[in-house]
A and B are shown apart, each in its own frame.
Chain A
């Protein structure tokens, strides 16, 4: 099935560093969402974006909905050990989400 191109696949960073990840697609989406998933659990919604160009923050997280509606990025500032996990982007259209393959984030204390 259709999937988004999410990069990077994995990141190893030091505590306190900033992180950036992004997603691109050949299709236009009405909504862009970012989720975090811990082992054995379901994805937890971090940020939802609804308009092209929209920039939204949630604490140390900032995400943007690309102007073309075909891409989005997520930034995490001043990372902490509990940021460890897999981050997924998802494009939404008509009650269906299309997911990227995820970015595995490891934070070294």
Chain B
């Protein structure tokens, strides 16, 4: 089975712009989660989607949003970019049905640099 894929791998944006990141989960996985990784804060949970619905959300401002499509692919959007949004954005997937095992598999990440 192919792993979690994320596109693009690298992005450079300027302050005030918006950005959309994409994630395709492992085939058959219906839960997709997003994390932000920075040197200062480490890995922080953004949100989780299942069957096109957000089930869980971390403590990030409303500028961070996401969605999931019927094929389980997910996108994450950040509007009005700030310098502090520079980070590695990671997507993870798990089967998602029934009681969670929380066994998430990660993609390679998208490195976002905000200038």
Chain A interface (Cβ < 8 Å from any Cβ of B)? 1, 3, 30-31, 33, 35, 40-45, 48, 50, 88, 90, 92-102
Contacts and interface: CB of A to CB of B under 8 A. Distances in A.
B interface secondary structure, majority? strand
Interface residues of B, number: 31
Contact of A41 (B44, B48, B58, B109): B109
Contacts of B107: 42
Contact of A96 (B42, B45, B90): B45
B70 interface: no
B80 to A, nearest CB: 21
A33 B42 contact: no
Contact of B106 (A43, A50, A101, A102): A43
A31 B103 contact: yes
A93 B56 CA distance: 11
B94 A42 contact: no
A96 B48 CA distance: 7
B43 interface: yes
